């Protein structure tokens, strides 16, 4: 079977290759085997290849934090899955044609779900949902501000916020996205820049924004902090710039703004397995209903992993880059 391997850390499309490796074999009693139907290339996967992600395993290593698969074999002790079921995998190393994992790590998805969307259910939808629920007790009509608003997380967050009656200020780096993001439900779309806080105050008529979420880092974190109300919370959950947050101290001293962080695994770990399955069932139902989705730019075969990685690293994409390792989507 084919599997993506990196033999050294470096530029993703230089270091990643598609290798022929032995098949995963039959499942043990508590395991399942599934064919990987599709996986996305997320920013964290690119950092993994570069060696700048929090996990840096010994080499050779296989990237891939999420995927959708179809079960081909089930161990005798696994009762919640059967052959043919669609699953997402809570474990990593998913850039391969086939995976063998513990049954508990395979979360079933409803049959008939759109496979491209299913490949992206594991990480970004719960990230958007839990950032809206776990930091500030928001009520209908309250404002939330976010940057990287055109990202998959950003788009999902603006839809989930709208469903709760929350209003969103969506900060982007490209002005041409405004109409598209407003059509998706974003209330205000602004282009990032030095006078961001003044422009946001004007457009929201001095709204008290109690929650901000940001994934750029560097001075951009500070610009978002300047938009947060006294005693509000800013959640840092990624660093598209590769820089640590730089926030002016007056936000902390004079206004009591709280700067904190989010990592999906840490917030899922606070919940029981039943609750986690319930969260994914709810999100999958929204994907089935068409209310939650992330745009897809291009789907590549696994043999073209280098092209796929170079494309995923480019700004200005029209959505995610996916890979279909078995040519089934
Ligand atoms: N902490 C967690 O648990 C967690 C979970 C999921 C995701 N994340 C983080 O969430 C962020 C978004 O992930 P995603 O999968 O939704 O991303 P994505 O769909 O691949 O989109 C990336 C976004 O980043 C923007 N961008 C790229 N470089 C930038 C820069 N230097 N300055 C400003 N904007 C920049 C792009 O803007 P354009 O649209 O203009 O190209 C695009 O909107 C990433 O940082 C990711 O690591 C964190």
pLDDT tens-digit series, residues 104-138: 999 999 999 999 999 999 999 999 999 999 999 99
Separation of CA 43 and ligand 1 centre (Å): 6
Strands 211-214 and 167-172: unpaired
Average pLDDT over residues 319-326: 98
Nearest alpha carbon to residue 160 among 288, 291, 294: 291
Would the pLDDT of 316 be above 90?
A: no
* Best of 153, 242, 268 for a ligand 1 pocket test (most atoms within 8 Å of beta carbon): 153
CA distances to 193, 228, 259, 296 from 156, in Å? 23, 21, 22, 14
Separation of CA 241 and ligand 1 centre (Å): 9
Domain boundaries, the chain: 2-123+297-324, 135-261
Among the listed residues 9, 53, 237, 300, the single catalytic one is 53
What are the backbone dihedrals phi and psi of residue 131, each rounded to the nearest 5 degrees, phi first?
Answer: -65, -30
Separation of CA 282 and ligand 1 centre (Å): 24
Nearest alpha carbon to residue 211 among 270, 155, 260, 269: 260
Residue 60 burial by Cβ neighbours in a 10 Å radius (0-12, 13-18, 19+) = middle
**The whole model's pTM is what?**
0.96
Separation of CA 22 and ligand 1 centre (Å): 35
Q: Would 2-123+297-324 and 135-261 be classified into the same CATH topology?
A: no
Closest ligand 1 atom number to CA of residue 44 = 47
Separation of CA 81 and ligand 1 centre (Å): 33
Closest ligand 1 atom number to CA of residue 154 = 16
141-159 pLDDT per residue, tens: 999 999 999 999 999 999 9
121-130 pLDDT per residue, tens: 999 999 999 9
DSSP 8-state secondary structure symbol assigned to residue 164:
T
251-304 pLDDT per residue, tens: 999 999 999 999 999 999 999 988 998 999 999 999 999 999 999 999 999 999
Q: Does domain 2-123+297-324 have CATH number 3.40.605.10?
A: no
53 given a catalytic annotation:
yes
- Identify the CATH number of the domain defined by range 135-261: 3.40.50.720
- C-beta neighbour count of 255 within 10 angstroms: 14
- What's the rounded Cα separation, in Å, for the pair 149 and 54? 24
CB-facing half-sphere around the CA of 84: CA atoms within 13 A: 2
Average pLDDT taken over every residue of the chain: 97
Closest ligand 1 atom number to CA of residue 148 = 43
168-196 pLDDT per residue, tens: 999 999 999 999 999 999 999 999 999 99
Ligand 1 neighbours by CB, cut-off 6 Å: 42-44, 123-124, 127, 148, 150-153, 173-174, 215-216, 237-238, 240-241, 262-264, 315-316, 320
What are the backbone dihedrals phi and psi of residue 198, each rounded to the nearest 5 degrees, phi first?
Answer: -65, -45
- What's the rounded Cα separation, in Å, for the pair 147 and 215? 7
Q: Which amino acid residue places its CA nearest to atom 45 of ligand 1?
A: 238
Closest ligand 1 atom number to CA of residue 315 = 41
């Amino acid at each position: 079977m084919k599997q993506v391997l990196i033999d050294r850390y470096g530029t993703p499309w230089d270091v990643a290759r598609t290798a022929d490796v032995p098949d995963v074999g039959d499942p043990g009693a508590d395991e399942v085997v599934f064919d990987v139907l599709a996986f996305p290339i997320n920013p964290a996967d690119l950092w993994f290849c570069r060696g700048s992600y929090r996990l840096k395993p010994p080499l050779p290593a296989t990237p891939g934090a999420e995927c959708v698969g179809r079960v081909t074999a089930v161990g005798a002790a696994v009762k919640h899955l059967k052959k043919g079921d669609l699953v997402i995998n809570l474990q990593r190393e998913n850039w391969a044609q086939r995976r063998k994992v513990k049954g508990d790590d395979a979360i079933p998805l409803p049959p008939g779900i759109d496979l491209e969307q299913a490949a992206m259910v594991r990480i970004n939808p719960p990230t958007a949902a839990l950032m809206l629920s776990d930091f500030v007790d928001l009520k209908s009509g309250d404002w939330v501000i976010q940057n990287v608003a055109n990202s998959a997380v950003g788009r999902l967050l603006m839809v989930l916020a709208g469903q709760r009656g929350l209003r969103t200020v969506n900060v982007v780096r490209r002005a041409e996205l405004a109409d598209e993001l407003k059509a998706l439900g974003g209330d205000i779309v602004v282009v990032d820049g030095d006078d961001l806080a003044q422009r946001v105050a004007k457009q929201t008529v001095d709204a008290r924004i109690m929650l901000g979420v940001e994934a750029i880092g560097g001075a951009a974190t500070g610009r978002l902090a300047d938009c947060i109300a006294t005693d509000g919370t800013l959640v840092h959950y990624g660093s598209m710039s590769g820089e640590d947050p730089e926030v002016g101290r007056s936000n902390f001293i004079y206004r009591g703004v709280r700067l904190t962080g989010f990592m999906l695994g840490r917030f899922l770990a606070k919940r029981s397995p039943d609750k986690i399955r319930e969260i994914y069932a709810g999100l999958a139902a929204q994907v089935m209903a068409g209310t939650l989705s992330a745009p897809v730019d291009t789907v590549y075969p696994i043999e073209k992993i280098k092209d796929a990685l170079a494309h995923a690293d480019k700004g200005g994409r029209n959505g995610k880059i996916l890979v279909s390792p078995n040519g089934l989507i």
